[in-house]
Amino acid sequence: MTFGGGYAMLPILEREVVDNKGWATDEELANYFAVGQCTPGVIAVNTATFIGYNERGIPGGIMATLGVVFPSLVIIMSLAGIIRAFSDNPFVIKAFAGVRACVCVLIFNSIVKLFKGAVKNKITFIIYLVVVLLSVFLDVSPVIIVLADIALGIILQAITMKLEREGGNK
Q: Do residue 34 and residue 100 come from a single domain?
A: yes
Q: Do residue 6 and residue 83 come from a single domain?
A: yes
Least confident residue range of 5-9, 78-82, 120-124, 126-130:
5-9
Q: Do residue 11 and residue 68 come from a single domain?
A: yes
Whether the Cβ atoms of residue 6 and residue 44 lie closer than 8 Å to each other: yes
Q: How many Å apart are CA 139 and CA 131, to the nearest integer?
A: 10
Quick one: average pLDDT of 48-65? 91
Q: Do residue 42 and residue 95 come from a single domain?
A: yes
Q: Do residue 29 and residue 108 come from a single domain?
A: yes
What's the domain range around 166? 120-170
pLDDT digits (tens, 9 = 90+) for 116-130: 878 888 988 999 899
Q: How many Å apart are CA 128 and CA 145, to the nearest integer?
A: 11
Q: Do residue 114 and residue 124 come from a single domain?
A: no
**Domains in the chain, number:** 2
Helix (H) or strand (E) holding 60, with range, is helix 43-85
Quick one: average pLDDT of 148-154? 90
Residue of 34, 31, 67 lying closest to 52 (CA atoms):
67
Q: Does the pLDDT at position 62 exceed 90?
A: yes
Q: Do residue 68 and residue 84 come from a single domain?
A: yes
Q: How many Å apart are CA 34 and CA 93, to the nearest integer?
A: 34
Q: Do residue 114 and residue 129 come from a single domain?
A: no
Q: Do residue 98 and residue 127 come from a single domain?
A: no
Q: Do residue 100 and residue 131 come from a single domain?
A: no
Task: Say which amino acid occupies 72.
Answer: S
The predicted structure's pLDDT at residue 105: 84
In eight-state DSSP terms, residue 24 is S
Task: Say which amino acid occupies 150.
Answer: I
Whether the Cβ atoms of residue 46 and residue 35 lie closer than 8 Å to each other: yes
Q: Does the pLDDT at position 64 exceed 70?
A: yes
The predicted structure's pLDDT at residue 111: 82
Higher per-residue confidence, 81 vs 47: 47
Q: How many Å apart are CA 111 and CA 30, to the nearest integer?
A: 11
The predicted structure's pLDDT at residue 169: 64
Of 77, 96, 118, which residue is a domain's last?
Answer: 118
